[in-house]
Structure 1
């Protein structure tokens, strides 16, 4: 339980470093992470993995570019969650996953990138490692913040539209713990 509480605090600290606006989407998230890391991020629909391999998303880190790959044959919310999960690996600076290197090199070749320039690879295949739990927790918090703006008014409204929205939104009662 203490680990989970500490993990949530670390995730919130990472999110605060991004300085995301109250209302943000995937594009703003990717732009904020790219700015923080000092290099661009490409989002790419990945090719189907080899038979028997289950991968929902991958991260290929090059010296001058990060590539986040998502599974195109799934529903949009799952794709967006996979992208957020890979952002988690970037922000936590998780180590390389050598078991995915061959698949990553083949993907890089198919995209016209030099596979020898890959410096780190990760992919979401399960949730058994600490790195996967960290990335998944951060992804959940990212998505929660994205959707919060659709459910609640801004805490500090700016502009007439947000003030109007805040004035006429019924507060959600918090449950007792």
Structure 2
């Protein structure tokens, strides 16, 4: 059984990060190898992915969902496994600096109070059935791919946040 745990900090609050992550039809924009994701019902999505030059399909079933906090799912088919995404609020470095500089008294002299970022932690496990899957897990290729996908998600969300703020200001 292969296991991965990777994290990334995103410059949005957990509710926003969670909302963007649950837009399954957008997954091909930031998850490498994902061709499409289609919502079947409230807890099931159908995935088409390209893996090692082959197209594969499978269904994923959400086992537990806590908006803004957690998504836990199990997949069946050729790419069976399970995973959890945790969305945790963390204080941004600039907010931590402002708090250290001005104290926790609330006296910020016009500086905004502490804002939050989100630490997204992905925990994945699956049976590595093929030789390529076994080597991918053993040599860290899968872990690097998950880390890269999380960074792409961060870029995806933060760009849309900036675009939305720009549009709202016009």
TM-score for both structures, normalised by structure 2: 0.30
TM-score for both structures, normalised by structure 1: 0.29
